[in-house]
Chain A
Amino acid sequence: MAKVKITVNGKELEVEAGKNLVDAAEENGFEIPHYCYHPGLSIAGQCRMCYVEQEGNPKLQVACNMKCSDGLKVKTDTPKVTDAVKWSLEFHLINHPIDCPICDQAGECGLQEYYMKHGKYKSEMHEEKELKPKVVDIGDQVVLDKERCILCSRCVRFTQEISKTSELGIFSRGDRSVIGTVNDSPLTGNYQTNVVDICPVGALTSKDFRFEQRVWFLDETQSICSGCSKGCNVDVHHKKGKHIYRLKPRYNEQVNSYWMCDKGRVTYKDSNFDRRLSNAKLGGVDLPHAEAIAAWAADLKVLIATERTEEIGVWITPHQTNEELVSIFETFATQLKTNKFYSESVETLVQKDEAVDGFLLRSDPYPNSRGFLKTSKEKKIKLQSIEDLIKALEKETISHLVIICPEGERQFPHMSRISQMVKPSQFVVILTPQNAAIEMFPSALSLPTLSHYEKAGTMINHAEISQSLEAGFQMFKESRSIQQTMKDLLEAQAKRAESRERMAN
């Protein structure tokens, strides 16, 4: 991209030619307030907040409609500009209900933010405000408050330009204008909650997040959505690492831009406590993690001592990070020398992977299928199918089955099939963050692992882009990462071997 020189407030900047002035200024530390402008949407120019003074032009200009060209000179801090912004904000507020104490947006509201910076403070509005409908249900995901709306039209443009569902529009005229849907029909499609993200005020709120938590109590951790092979970049909003409240899309030009789907947004629920395995269990009884590892190592000891480690079978799913997969393969294939690895037919999923709705959501439901195939190939692991596993269990060529991370409902049918085939003589270990699958194996040894949004590592998305997940928190003291669990197991195993040697001596 060609570079041009522009001048903002007397400071010369080198920016990309044709870049929007709002973005160019912001990147260089000059904030230009705006509501209707959104880099992912077309230019509306209607909130009238982003005024700048352009050299040689007596009239104030809106920065959102200016492209950077060589020699462009603007000022964002003249009295004329600050006064105009002040008044524009006042116009935004005169009919706004100012119901911040009961508004879900409080704390991340554009009006609050700019009021502190650009507010007129002493309002001169002594007339009665326009009253409009509140708590309007507009679909499965979103609630609309027409009074709080500042009519920036971002949501309207989103449904027209991005989701292409065109449900939203602005109805009526003047200060009676309202956002709405045609004939009060609900929003449709899998991308509804994006309008909540881009709404700069509390007009559009998410049903899922509404009244759950004040946003200033939330911390953010960067991660990748676990919903499908797209790998949308997300921010995980959680409270002190104890509870996740929502996911918000994080901008990535190559993957998801500013958006994510509604299906992906609820994947955080699998991480929260009501679905989690909080303690290691053996036969349904809680036991400390170290004892659970010891019990596992004890069973392995027998297999090692009798040189029957090829009787270890491992069921594995592409929910893991590449690093986790490496540690699993190294532990079981390299150290314990088994070659019985089973999984769903990931190859088929990858081959048939396609965009389901023409936008983000893809048919492959796993976030790391490519990484799974790549790592197994690198480690020379031959993957067998569920049918092979069933046969092996039937023939009892497997006496020790390790099931790794079945997350979500998709794994239930497989788990159910496997549980029906398992005989009492076969030892089953389940490594999982969730409690759902455990109930099918009442006598198994289960060890809690980290859930998707607690993990650190890398995953490879459908377009072969390797993306990293950031570990920000650990919700349960007893849960361990897979790598840690593998390490603990091998250590316990080595200890046992050592003590055995000592005893033999």
Chain B
Amino acid sequence: MIKKTHHFKNMRAMAIQQTPLKSEKRILLEHEHVPEINKIDVYTSKGGYSALKKVFQNKMTPDSVIDLMKASGLRGRGGAGFPTGSKWSFVPKGNDKPKYLLCNADESEPGTFKDRVLLEKLPHLMIEGMIIGAYSFGARKSYVYIRGEYTYAAMMVEKAIQEAYQVGYLGKNILGSGFDHDMYVHRGAGAYICGEETGLISSLEGKKGWPKLKPPFPAVEGYLKCPTVVNNVETLACVPWIINNGPEAYAKMGTEKSKGTKMWSVSGDVAQPGVYEVELGAPFSVLLNDCCGGIRGGKKLKAVIPGGSSAPIVTAEEAFAMTLDYESIASKGSMLGSGGMIILDESRDLVQVLKNLSEFYADESCGQCTPCREGTGWLEKILHSFTEKQALKTDIELLDRISSNMLGRTICVLADSIAMPVQSYLKKFPQEFQKYLETSSNTSRQRRAL
């Protein structure tokens, strides 16, 4: 309990005020510290909505907006890292059906809280990006699907949308362009799976938040069977900067395949957990030491979960050897994901960590596909046997085999989200599991096994 309070205090500190650090590269969070930046007049006074004006006053064509995005190299910040410009260009043209833009603000991956800062403090940045995005593929309506627990964030976005309507950035004939757009807030009811692209669509349609079988892909048949694009909050928030500063300036930042900046929400055993924006390709130590003030209590780093709880774990050595971009993290067998980084110091018991995660995924599996529905629960039970010191010798190998038979076998990637971590923990920290096996008495379980 004490530990939790401690974390909570730090989180609050993050949410209140954070002046930019030298080691950061802030393009999204540039004005985050400005008081009342969530209000439209303050936002506009800091250059807000200039990108929107640029698009409409310069009479940029929808295709040229998409071309700009493609040139910038912007990739989706929700986890999958799909190029945004391409995603928008997949929406079929000349289709009679209405098109929709859905903003995925159902930030529910454990360890991830970067979108929350944008939603609470810079809702207009996201709204501006959404209007431009919607214009690029002709969506007349967009929805911001906000995680149910984000009550305050939903309120801020709701207010911001109203403000945007009042000044004519939303509604009919935006800035005399002839483009109409309406925006709505939809609040989730508390399911992790509704952050999955098609699960979100099902939920928005009023159904149970079950991911949909692909094909058809949302760009062709999504929300209400109409062409739909689902983008993450951070992705959309990048759009105004790219319009204002040009794709070249954006592409100049980062590495060859990872352009621009990335917001990281760092939690766990660091001195200053919080949200930090750094250039893609920055060394891990910059984020850990310069931004977060190093490991809390002078302890040593044991492991890092780089991109939200579903990302495979990396060891301390691997972490220090990697740079913060898609390719480098992938080369260490993990993924950049949502940028929800969890730092684990030497005192952490990784079997307990994994058990904790498996409980989460077993609870959150939507129950649609058999391997995930049954597999997540099975993994949880076996990991529970480890921590209860009742594991069997065969259980390590069994965990690995169950995971490999869940990987890539389901409609969405929730099964992968626990299968990949299980495999990585087993591979990178086998001694932790072995330790439990040595102390297991396992009499009662063995009797059952017989």
Q: A91-B370, A175-B374 are in contact. Are A59 and B398 (CB under 8 A)?
A: no
> For the complex, is A321 an interface residue (Cβ under 8 Å from B)?
no
> For the complex, is A213 an interface residue (Cβ under 8 Å from B)?
no
**Residues in A whose Cβ lies below 8 Å from that of B411:** 45-46
Residue ID in chain B nearest A65 by CB atoms: B213
Q: A173-B365, A175-B362 are in contact. Are A126 and B392 (CB under 8 A)?
A: yes
> For the complex, is B331 an interface residue (Cβ under 8 Å from A)?
no
Whether the pair A44, B371 counts as a contact (CB closer than 8 A) is no
Residue ID in chain B nearest A174 by CB atoms: B365
The 3 tightest CB contacts between A and B, nearest first, are A177-B367, A175-B377, A127-B381
Residue ID in chain B nearest A45 by CB atoms: B213
Q: A65-B213, A124-B398, A126-B392 are in contact. Are A175 and B373 (CB under 8 A)?
A: yes
> For the complex, is A335 an interface residue (Cβ under 8 Å from B)?
no
Whether the pair B394, A92 counts as a contact (CB closer than 8 A) is no
A184 to B193 alpha-carbon distance, docked (Å): 26
Q: How far is the CB of B78 from chain A (nearest CB, A)?
A: 21
**Residues in A whose Cβ lies below 8 Å from that of B47:** none
Whether the pair B405, A124 counts as a contact (CB closer than 8 A) is no
> For the complex, is B385 an interface residue (Cβ under 8 Å from A)?
yes
Q: Name 24 interchain pairs, CB-CB below 8 A, sorted by A.
A: A44-B213, A46-B370, A46-B411, A48-B410, A60-B408, A62-B213, A83-B405, A84-B405, A91-B370, A91-B405, A124-B394, A127-B382, A150-B370, A151-B370, A169-B208, A170-B367, A173-B193, A173-B363, A173-B367, A174-B365, A174-B377, A175-B362, A175-B367, A177-B373
> For the complex, is B445 an interface residue (Cβ under 8 Å from A)?
yes
Whether the pair A173, B408 counts as a contact (CB closer than 8 A) is no
**Residues in A whose Cβ lies below 8 Å from that of B191:** 173
A150 to B374 alpha-carbon distance, docked (Å): 10
Whether the pair B369, A48 counts as a contact (CB closer than 8 A) is yes
> For the complex, is B215 an interface residue (Cβ under 8 Å from A)?
yes
Prevailing SS type, chain B contact patch: helix
Q: How far is the CB of B205 from chain A (nearest CB, A)?
A: 13
Whether the pair A173, B371 counts as a contact (CB closer than 8 A) is no
Interface residues of A in 79-101 (CB under 8 A from B): 83-84, 87-88, 91-92, 94-95
Whether the pair A173, B366 counts as a contact (CB closer than 8 A) is yes
**Residues in A whose Cβ lies below 8 Å from that of B445:** 126
A59 to B364 alpha-carbon distance, docked (Å): 25
> For the complex, is B375 an interface residue (Cβ under 8 Å from A)?
yes
> For the complex, is B448 an interface residue (Cβ under 8 Å from A)?
yes
A302 to B90 alpha-carbon distance, docked (Å): 90
B208, B375, B385, B408: which contacts A127 (Cβ < 8 A)?
A: B385
Q: How far is the CB of A253 from chain B (nearest CB, A)?
A: 25
> For the complex, is B299 an interface residue (Cβ under 8 Å from A)?
no
Whether the pair B365, A175 counts as a contact (CB closer than 8 A) is yes
Residue ID in chain B nearest A172 by CB atoms: B367
> For the complex, is A355 an interface residue (Cβ under 8 Å from B)?
no
Contact string, A309-339, partner B, CB cutoff 8 A, digits 1/0? 0000000000000000000000000000000
Residue ID in chain A nearest B361 by CB atoms: A174
Q: How far is the CB of A119 from chain B (nearest CB, A)?
A: 15
Most buried by B among A84, A91, A92, A169: A91
**Residues in A whose Cβ lies below 8 Å from that of B2:** none
> For the complex, is B378 an interface residue (Cβ under 8 Å from A)?
yes
> For the complex, is A212 an interface residue (Cβ under 8 Å from B)?
no
Whether the pair B370, A48 counts as a contact (CB closer than 8 A) is yes
**Residues in A whose Cβ lies below 8 Å from that of B405:** 83-84, 87-88, 91
- Report how many A-B pairs have Cβ atoms within 8 Å: 97
Q: How far is the CB of B361 from chain A (nearest CB, A)?
A: 8
Contact string, A124-139, partner B, CB cutoff 8 A, digits 1/0? 1111101000000000
Whether the pair A88, B213 counts as a contact (CB closer than 8 A) is no
Contact string, B389-420, partner A, CB cutoff 8 A, digits 1/0? 00010100010000001001111000000000
Contact string, A26-55, partner B, CB cutoff 8 A, digits 1/0? 000000000000000001111111010000
B interface residue count range (under 10 / 10 to 19 / 20 to 34 / 35 or more): 35 or more
A65 to B215 alpha-carbon distance, docked (Å): 8
Whether the pair A175, B376 counts as a contact (CB closer than 8 A) is yes
> For the complex, is B1 an interface residue (Cβ under 8 Å from A)?
no
A49 to B369 alpha-carbon distance, docked (Å): 10
Additional A-B contact list (13), CB under 8 Å, known A126-B392, A173-B367: A43-B213, A46-B369, A47-B369, A47-B370, A87-B409, A94-B374, A124-B398, A127-B378, A128-B381, A170-B367, A173-B193, A173-B366, A174-B367
**Residues in A whose Cβ lies below 8 Å from that of B409:** 48, 51, 60, 84, 87-88
Whether the pair B363, A174 counts as a contact (CB closer than 8 A) is yes
Q: How far is the CB of A143 from chain B (nearest CB, A)?
A: 22
**Residues in B whose Cβ lies below 8 Å from that of A49:** 370
**Residues in B whose Cβ lies below 8 Å from that of A59:** 408
Most buried by B among A44, A169, A170, A174: A174
Residue ID in chain B nearest A47 by CB atoms: B370
Residue ID in chain B nearest A64 by CB atoms: B213
Prevailing SS type, chain A contact patch: loop
Whether the pair A88, B371 counts as a contact (CB closer than 8 A) is yes
Residue ID in chain A nearest B362 by CB atoms: A174
**Residues in B whose Cβ lies below 8 Å from that of A43:** 213
Whether the pair A94, B378 counts as a contact (CB closer than 8 A) is yes
A280 to B87 alpha-carbon distance, docked (Å): 80
> For the complex, is B368 an interface residue (Cβ under 8 Å from A)?
yes
A268 to B405 alpha-carbon distance, docked (Å): 47
**Residues in A whose Cβ lies below 8 Å from that of B16:** none
A9 to B208 alpha-carbon distance, docked (Å): 38
Residue ID in chain A nearest B448 by CB atoms: A126
Interface residues of A in 121-167 (CB under 8 A from B): 124-128, 130, 150-151
Whether the pair A48, B365 counts as a contact (CB closer than 8 A) is no
Q: A43-B213, A48-B410, A173-B367 are in contact. Are A95 and B385 (CB under 8 A)?
A: no
**Residues in A whose Cβ lies below 8 Å from that of B449:** 126
Whether the pair A92, B213 counts as a contact (CB closer than 8 A) is no
Q: A45-B213, A173-B365, A174-B363 are in contact. Are A87 and B376 (CB under 8 A)?
A: no
Most buried by A among B365, B367, B375: B367
**Residues in B whose Cβ lies below 8 Å from that of A177:** 367, 373
**Residues in A whose Cβ lies below 8 Å from that of B385:** 127
**Residues in B whose Cβ lies below 8 Å from that of A150:** 370
Residue ID in chain B nearest A173 by CB atoms: B367
**Residues in A whose Cβ lies below 8 Å from that of B371:** 48, 87-88, 91
Q: How far is the CB of A130 from chain B (nearest CB, A)?
A: 7
Contact string, B283-303, partner A, CB cutoff 8 A, digits 1/0? 000000000000000000000
**Residues in B whose Cβ lies below 8 Å from that of A44:** 213
**Residues in B whose Cβ lies below 8 Å from that of A173:** 191, 193, 363-367
**Residues in A whose Cβ lies below 8 Å from that of B376:** 174-175
B215, B365, B374, B382: which contacts A92 (Cβ < 8 A)?
A: B374
Residue ID in chain B nearest A178 by CB atoms: B367
Residue ID in chain A nearest B209 by CB atoms: A173
Q: How far is the CB of A258 from chain B (nearest CB, A)?
A: 22
Q: How far is the CB of B95 from chain A (nearest CB, A)?
A: 21
**Residues in B whose Cβ lies below 8 Å from that of A172:** 367
A95 to B382 alpha-carbon distance, docked (Å): 14
**Residues in A whose Cβ lies below 8 Å from that of B367:** 151, 170, 172-177
Most buried by B among A45, A125, A126: A126
A62 to B408 alpha-carbon distance, docked (Å): 11
Interface residues of B in 14-64 (CB under 8 A from A): none
A169 to B368 alpha-carbon distance, docked (Å): 12
Whether the pair A151, B408 counts as a contact (CB closer than 8 A) is no
Whether the pair B373, A174 counts as a contact (CB closer than 8 A) is yes
Residue ID in chain A nearest B410 by CB atoms: A48
A59 to B416 alpha-carbon distance, docked (Å): 13
A177 to B367 alpha-carbon distance, docked (Å): 6
A434 to B365 alpha-carbon distance, docked (Å): 56
Residue ID in chain B nearest A96 by CB atoms: B374
**Residues in A whose Cβ lies below 8 Å from that of B448:** 126, 128
A171 to B193 alpha-carbon distance, docked (Å): 15
Contact string, B432-450, partner A, CB cutoff 8 A, digits 1/0? 0000000000000100110
